[in-house]
A and B are shown apart, each in its own frame.
Chain A
């Protein structure tokens, strides 16, 4: 009888533990993440590396495949700026192919082989107070969403962004007049 009670208790504990793990996993997956290319500047991450940029509870984390995750505390983020970038697709192999194409065919391909991306520039400070700047390349439209997510989690933006917004507002008002 005692053995049966112990067994039941053990099973109950096991179920409770599993439930806790599931809820934790749900929290982790709830963190906002995007697929990015790290262009430069994020301390500890290799340049031009693809990976996942995510906002965890109080950190901004970059995880490149097969490499340990690199993170920065959101409280140390000083500025987040979204920009735009137009790049030729295909990298070096495509460039070589275009150069080898006869009768200037490569130039015609270049006309259509470009894509627009968003850039996310994150300025943060390290433990010594030194200023760092990191640039990430995101798919078009994801930059603004990610920036809003960062702001919601406590990252700061500088006056520069406010100026840009004001400039845009002034442009719109002058156009309407």
Chain B
């Protein structure tokens, strides 16, 4: 009787192991499918492309190197977010063929030039502070997202580090914001706005 019980339990164990081994590829395949689906969703999010326009310094007396550094860092950081299908530079001809294009306009609102030496000596003073107004809009001028973003260097790093921090914060804000999906109606609207020729000019 004991021998029968033992053989039954061994048989049971063998059946369980066989069933598990047989189902492993199917489970792996299901996981792979799930991963593909989530990737598919991510690519669906990344339908917009973005074109970064050069930084407008507004009324602020901002050094040209800072303007360029913000612009270049923005391009870099926006590319890292994977939020957009493509990231275009200002005046890039190839952006004109892209239908779902957002335009990022950045205007400097405030700039406080700091000093790296002052920061190193006092720790609490000499911070470099930057504040910009960022606007994501369609070609037609419809504003999709509008935020004021700050970027500072308080302790370690050179003054230009503020531009990197600022661009990182702008990219983070855009990544976390929920942008409306590019619909056919929006692209059609944009195209119709572009194709529109006033009858008086014909």
Contact = CB atoms under 8 A, between A and B. Distances in A.
A106 B120 CA distance: 8
A107 B120 contact: yes
Interface stretch (B4-12, B84-92, B169-177): B84-92
B89 A135 contact: no
Interface in B64-88: 64-65, 67-69, 71-73, 88
Contacts of A41: 68-69, 72
B156 interface: yes
Nearest to B156: A95
Given A98-B120, A110-B117, A114-B116, A131 B94 contact: no
A111 B64 CA distance: 27
B117 A88 contact: yes
A7 to B, nearest CB: 60
Contact of A87 (B54, B71, B90, B158): B158
Contacts of A125: 91
Contact of A131 (B54, B115, B116, B122): B54
B89 A40 contact: no
A115 to B, nearest CB: 10
B194 interface: no
B159 A85 contact: yes
Interface residues of B, number: 27
B19 interface: no
A131 B88 CA distance: 10
B89 A126 contact: yes
A151 B132 CA distance: 33
A141 interface: no
Contacts of B121: 107, 110-111
Given A81-B64, A135-B68, A130 B116 contact: no
Interface in A121-142: 121, 123, 125-126, 128-135
Contacts of A79: 64
Contacts of A121: 64-65, 68
A40 B73 contact: yes
A131 B93 contact: no
A86 B121 CA distance: 14
Interface of B: 54, 63-65, 67-69, 71-73, 88-94, 115-117, 120-122, 156, 158-160
- Nearest first, the 7 closest Cβ-Cβ pairs linking A and B are A133-B68, A130-B89, A110-B120, A130-B92, A41-B72, A81-B64, A131-B90
25 contacts: A41-B69, A41-B72, A79-B64, A81-B65, A83-B63, A85-B158, A85-B159, A86-B115, A86-B116, A88-B116, A88-B120, A88-B158, A95-B156, A107-B120, A107-B121, A110-B121, A111-B117, A128-B89, A131-B54, A131-B71, A132-B72, A132-B89, A133-B71, A135-B65, A135-B69
Interface of A: 39-41, 79, 81, 83, 85-88, 95, 98, 106-107, 110-111, 114, 119, 121, 123, 125-126, 128-135, 160
Given A87-B158, A128-B94, A130-B91, 15 more contacts: A39-B160, A88-B158, A107-B120, A107-B122, A110-B120, A110-B121, A114-B116, A114-B117, A128-B92, A129-B91, A129-B92, A130-B90, A130-B92, A131-B91, A135-B69
